[in-house]
Amino acid sequence: MSAYVLRQEEINLLTQATNAVLELNKKYSGSYPLSENTTNILSKYAGDLHSIYRALYITNIKAVNGRYGDNQKTLPKYKPLRSWDLERMPIFELKKACGAFGCYMYQCSEDPIDGSDIWKAFSDIYKTCCMLYVNKTIDWQGNDDL
């Protein structure tokens, strides 16, 4: 298995999706529950896109370094992002985020990240992101056939 660090555009997308999940959990915890592990590790970052961005990138870099023993990777310069509107999350961005998250989780499946608490937390975010996409797809298509 090979591993690589995702592009900045992909990490930006994952940052926005992660923040959306954390904000939804904060606002509607019953509808968007996260594990205690995820809450302990990531909930403090809700609304702080820069910290989410750093956590995603550093985790990815550590996994790649674990695979190849390469410590030369550096964190790209952060460009400020805007949060998604929680009431009108763009379905096409959410779909791309689910795909990018699947890739991200695979790239981070290396020591020392694979199975760690941060890996489990991002896995939880990924699952919730996919659930959001499925729910929005059903809502978007309407339920006239039911």
Q: How many CB atoms lie within 10 A of CB 112?
A: 11
**Which residues contact residue 74 at a Cβ distance below 8 angstroms, ignoring those fewer than 6 apart?**
none
Percent of the chain whose predicted confidence (pLDDT) is above 70: 92
Q: Which domain holds residue 57?
A: 8-140
State the Cα–Cα distance between residues 94 and 88, nearest whole angstrom: 11
The 10s digit of each residue's pLDDT in 13-60 is: 999 999 999 999 999 888 889 999 999 999 999 999 999 999 999 999
Residue 3 within a domain: no
Residue 102 within a domain: yes
Residue 110 within a domain: yes
The pTM for the full model equals: 0.89
Domain count, the chain: 1
* Nearest CA-CA partner of 4 in 51, 70, 90, 48: 70
